[in-house]
Each structure stands twice: as structure tokens, then as C-alpha cells.
A and B are shown apart, each in its own frame.
Chain A
């Protein structure tokens, strides 16, 4: 109970809203940058996904727990503040005109609830693979001890595509290296034999997920609502945490809008490109 003692103070509650909000905004930005790697192709995206899922180890658990704690406190505090605020204004005006309050600031609790619903669906889909499991259960095979190389003289290679053997061996440029052709790409392998590994095919999951128009539309709507929320949220965090300087604050308000619009554009560019067949079209 000592954990939620801060709820007795409205300013401390707002402080918790701002701090957890900042954590979540930083995650949203990082997640966006990570997701954009889908434009770099399957290899880049899958090795990024592998890095997050396998290489981070305990750190991933800590980050996930941190995010869950931030979300939980963000929600508890907002719901408590909403009820407090409704109680502080029991009689509404018959006629109400707003001067500075915008649609985005007046709908924070509603966009928040919608984002939570979207987030739940999004995690069930792409993180846990509960919804549309056919997207999730895909495996990507790749060569671990190799670097992808481009132009290689094809005549030096014995093409074994179609046979049981996964790879075709070429002439080695040094004693310790050999060239292989694997699934249409060239690799320079250290040692004689390529080591074949498996990893979760996050790229295929994203492509097949977003190739369903309904899933894409839901995602686009969810992200636009998130943008609405962030438009008010980012500048609001500065004000709550006590940074309001007459010179910079107007710029922070504009910056808040720019960041939220940019985030929306970056996020929705992924399902739109996939629907248009610009990314992963041949999958």
C-alpha cells in the first residue's frame, strides 16, 4: 500500500503520470526505430529480433518488467485522477466554450483506454502469438559463420539448389574461407562448412500479419490514436515536471505535435508498404 500512497497528492500523482509517460514515450520511439528496420530486409530485421529476444538475456526481462510497471502505474494513476476530477466538477455548465483546451487534451482518458485495448491486441498478436498464431510460428534458417557477399562469379559454384544439401560450395578465396550459395544469396563462410541456425522469423510474421487488410487497418487506427494521445502528452510532461520557460515552451508544444505526427507516419508506413506490396511482396 505504501506504493500507492502518492495517490493522496494530486501533484505527486501528476509526477507519476509524467515519469511513467516519459518512459513509455521513449519506448515508443525506440520501438519505432527498431520496426523501421523492416525496410532493410529480412536479414536485418530478423537479426534485430534475434538480438532483442536472445542476446539481451536478463536485460529483456528487466525492460519488459519496467514497461509493465510503467503501464500499470500510468493506468492506476490516470483512473484515480479522472474520478477525482469528475468529483471536483459535479455540475457541468449548460453552455461550455473552450479557449485553449484542445480535442486531444480533453480526450486523454478515452484515447488512453483505446490505446490499452490496442496494446493488448498488439501484444497478443506479435509478442505472444496468441491471435493469428499462423503468423507467429515461422522459422528463419540462416548461416551463422558467414557474411553475405554480393557479386560472385557463378561459374565457380556448383549449384546444388533443389537437392537435399542446403548449400553449394564455391572456391575459397583464402584457405580458411569458402563461398556458398544459400537460398539465392552469396555468403562467405569461415571454415569449410556453413553452420545452419534457426531463429524466429519475425519478418515473415510482420509481413503475413500486415498482409491481412483488417489487421493493418486496426493497427493504423491504433497508431493514429496513440499520436493523438502523445500530441498532448509530451508537452504536458514538461509542464508537470516543472519545465515551462517562456522562450522554449512554445517550441516544446510545437515539437510535441511534430514528434507525434512523425511517429504516426513512421509506424503506419510499415503496414501501408506491406499492403501495397512494396515490402515483402514476394513472400
Chain B
């Protein structure tokens, strides 16, 4: 396969950045998108040029490290697929592909296609956990959980925190991510003691990080490689409103 690539190049956080055109000729259909970039980078290194920086880790679609906005859609046009699991057979020979970093004020570009997603970590630190004394796990049957809630909590827990929702949102909102992280606990009995405090502090941190507001475009749901539904956003809105009126907020 021969491909024309237009890639965002940016030396560092303060550089203005620009799109640069590359030609890669020896791409195989069975390569993943990241392997295709590896091919490009090897070529660039041999030519003595700076290789393109991009995030990756497990390359099996579960870690949430890979990013990239491919032809205007985070993780590319393939539904429910991370960039690392996107294969070149989904593209045609001679295609032009535009590759840009995940864009949002809260995700500043570090270099080329690598963005700083630590805002998500700070949201998690604000309440994405359950405070529990360590010790043996209790006997499973002692804590009955309905199948419906268990399934829904698992759906929410699918979130790998890649940030595609923020990248896809025209407002740079992190509502899908935060709502998944809030709901996975809100649906289970273990999450109840800290439920109100959790939603208030996680949403509070989200707003401090400079993410936008949700305007119900539902682009996040479409881009999510784990198909987290926007239903969780509605659940979190409800949870947040109830908690705001029943729990005193700390300034």
C-alpha cells in the first residue's frame, strides 16, 4: 500500500506546530495503524530526520495509551476500535490520511502527536476510588448485586481513559469519561458511602482542569473505543444534581 500522510509536527509544548506531508510506500494491509507509523519512523530515522512522536503501550486495545485523531475522528473511523487495533486493510491504496493529536485545552500537546492527559489522573485522584480497609474480600454471596446493575457497572468500567471522548467533543468536554468513572461506583453497593462526595469532587476537578460543557452532540459516544453510552452522562447529571442539593459543597 502507498499512502500520503499529513501529520501534525510540533517540537515542544511552546512550538506553534504545523502539518507535514509524508509518503509511505511499503505498508502491508495486515499492519496496525501504529505499525504503519513505525514504518514511517524507521524511514525517517534512516534519513536522519526526527521520527514522529506518538503514544502507545499495550497495542492490544486495553491500556488507553494510544491516541491520534485520524481523518478528524479520534481512533479513526472504525467503530469501537482503538488506534492500535485499527488495521491498514480499513484504508485503500493511495489514500490521504490526516493524523492530528487529541485536541483540547486540558490536553496540551507535549510533542507531535503526544498530549498530556494527566488531567484525567487528577480527576481520578479527586474521587475515582473506594476507601476501604484492606483485608480479605468478603464472601461473594454476602453482598447481593442485581444482574442489571452489575452489567451496567461493568459497561462503565470498560472505560480505558484514552480521552477520545474529549478529543471528539467539539467543546472539549470530559463528561463521558467522568460519568463512566462515577457510575461504575454509583451502581454498586461498595460505592454508596462516598457516592455524593465522589460525584461532586470529580466533577469539580473536571471543571478546574478546563474541560468544556456538554451540549449533547453525542460525538463522544460515537468515538469511544469501548462504546460507553451517553446514558452514563444522564445518570451523572442526575447524581450531581441530587448531591448538590443534599450535600453541602466545600468551596
Task: Check A105–B216 contact: CB distance below 8 A.
Answer: yes
**B residues within 8 A CB of A240?**
214, 216, 234, 237
Instruction: Give A143 to B223 CA distance when docked, in angstroms.
Output: 66
B120 close to chain A: CB less than 8 A: no
A11 close to chain B: CB less than 8 A: yes
Task: Check A106–B72 contact: CB distance below 8 A.
Answer: no
Partner of A89, one of B100, B171, B221: B171
A-B interface pairs (CB < 8 A), number:
133
B231 close to chain A: CB less than 8 A: yes
- Supposing A99-B223, A105-B217 touch, asked if A88 and B231 sit within 8 A by C-beta, the answer is no
Instruction: Give A159 to B244 CA distance when docked, in angstroms.
Output: 73
Q: Which residue from chain A places its CB closest to the CB of B207 in the assembled complex?
A: A10
Instruction: Give A238 to B238 CA distance when docked, in angstroms.
Output: 11
Task: Check B217–A93 contact: CB distance below 8 A.
Answer: no
**A residues within 8 A CB of B229?**
246
**A residues within 8 A CB of B216?**
105, 232, 235-236, 239-240
A13 close to chain B: CB less than 8 A: yes
Task: Check B104–A95 contact: CB distance below 8 A.
Answer: no
Task: Check A99–B219 contact: CB distance below 8 A.
Answer: yes
**A residues within 8 A CB of B8?**
94
A136-185 residues at the B interface, CB under 8 angstroms: none
**B residues within 8 A CB of A249?**
231
- Supposing A11-B203, A11-B237, A243-B234 touch, asked if A101 and B219 sit within 8 A by C-beta, the answer is yes
Instruction: Give A244 to B238 CA distance when docked, in angstroms.
Output: 10
A205 close to chain B: CB less than 8 A: no
Task: Check B105–A87 contact: CB distance below 8 A.
Answer: yes
A118 close to chain B: CB less than 8 A: no
B185 close to chain A: CB less than 8 A: no
Task: Check B73–A101 contact: CB distance below 8 A.
Answer: no
Partner of A88, one of B19, B168, B211: B211
B49-71 residues at the A interface, CB under 8 angstroms: 69, 71
Which residue of B71, B169, B219, B235 has the most chain A CB atoms within 10 A of its CB atom?
B219
Known: A92-B103, A98-B217, A241-B238. 20 other contacts (CB 8 A): A9-B207, A10-B213, A11-B240, A84-B213, A85-B171, A85-B213, A85-B215, A88-B173, A89-B103, A91-B103, A94-B98, A95-B98, A97-B73, A105-B216, A106-B170, A232-B216, A240-B214, A240-B237, A244-B230, A245-B231
Which residues in A have some Cβ–Cβ distance to B below 8 Å?
8-15, 81, 84-85, 87-101, 105-106, 108, 232, 235-236, 238-246, 249
Leading 8 A-B pairs by shortest Cβ distance: A242-B238, A88-B212, A244-B234, A97-B72, A99-B222, A85-B171, A88-B172, A10-B213
